[in-house]
A and B are shown apart, each in its own frame.
With several copies, the nearest count.
Chain A
Amino acid sequence: MAVTLAQAINAALADEMEADPKVLMFGEDVGQLGGVFRVTDGLQERFGDKRCYDTPLAESGIIGTAIGLAMYGWRPVAEMQFDGFTYPAFEQIVSHLAKMPNRSRGTVKLPVTVRIPYGGGIGAVEHHSESPEAYWAHTAGLKVMTPGTPDDGYSMMRAAIRSDDPVIFLEPKRRYWMKSDTELPVTTEPTHEAVVRREGTDVTLFCYGPMVRTCLEAADQAADEGWSLEVVDLRSLSPLDTAAMVASVQRTGRAIVVHEAAMTLGIGAEVAARIQEGAFYHLEAPVLRATGFDTPYPPAKLEEYWLPDVDRILDAVERSLTF
Chain B
Amino acid sequence: MSTAASDPNDLLPPDEPVHLLDPDGTYHADPDHPLDLDDGQLRELYRMMVVTRKVDREAINLQRQGQLGVYASCMGQEAAQIGSAYALAADDWIFPSYRELGAALVREVDAAGFLHLYRGTWLSDHDPYAHNFGLMSIPIGTQALHAAGFAMGAAFDDNPIVTMTYFGDGGTSEGDPHEAMTFAGVFKAPVIFFVQNNQYAISVPLERQTAAPSLAHKAIGYGIPGFRVDGNDVLATYAVTRRAVERARQGHGPAFIEAMTYRMEAHTTSDDPTRYRTQEELDEAAKTDPIARMRNYLTARDLYDQDLEDGIEEQAKATATAVRAGIYDAEHGDPLELFEHVYDDPTGHFDHQREQLQAELAGAVDGEDL
Contact = CB atoms under 8 A, between A and B. Distances in A.
Interface of A: 24, 28-29, 31-34, 36, 50, 54-61, 63-74, 84-85, 87-88, 91-92, 95-96, 99-109, 123-128, 140-141, 143, 163-165, 190, 192-193, 221-222, 224-225, 236, 238-242, 263, 293-296, 298-303, 305-306, 309-312, 314-315
A56 B179 contact: yes
Contacts of B34: none
Nearest to B140: A57
B135 A108 contact: yes
A102 B123 contact: yes
Contacts of B69: 123-125, 300
B138 A55 contact: no
B279 interface: no
A102 to B, nearest CB: 5
Contacts of A99: 123
B309 interface: no
14 contacts: A50-B156, A56-B210, A68-B95, A72-B150, A85-B139, A87-B139, A92-B176, A105-B125, A125-B120, A126-B138, A239-B349, A295-B353, A312-B356, A314-B365
A225 B370 contact: yes
B203 A72 contact: no
B128 interface: yes
Nearest to B184: A65
Contact of A91 (B117, B142, B173): B142
Nearest to B370: A225
Contacts of A33: 202-203, 272, 275-276
B344 A69 contact: no
Contact of A58 (B122, B174, B342, B350): B174
B124 interface: yes
A103 B154 CA distance: 23
Contact-residue bracket for chain B:
35 or more
B23 interface: no
Contact of B152 (A65, A123, A293, A312): A65
A224 B370 CA distance: 8
B88 interface: no
B350 A295 contact: yes
B174 A301 contact: no
A306 B145 CA distance: 31
Contact of B146 (A24, A59, A68, A294): A68
A236 B208 contact: no
Interface in B131-170: 134-135, 137-140, 142, 144-154, 156-157, 163, 170
B339 A293 contact: yes
Given A60-B179, A100-B135, A107-B128, A74 B156 contact: yes
A72 B154 contact: yes
A312 B84 CA distance: 49
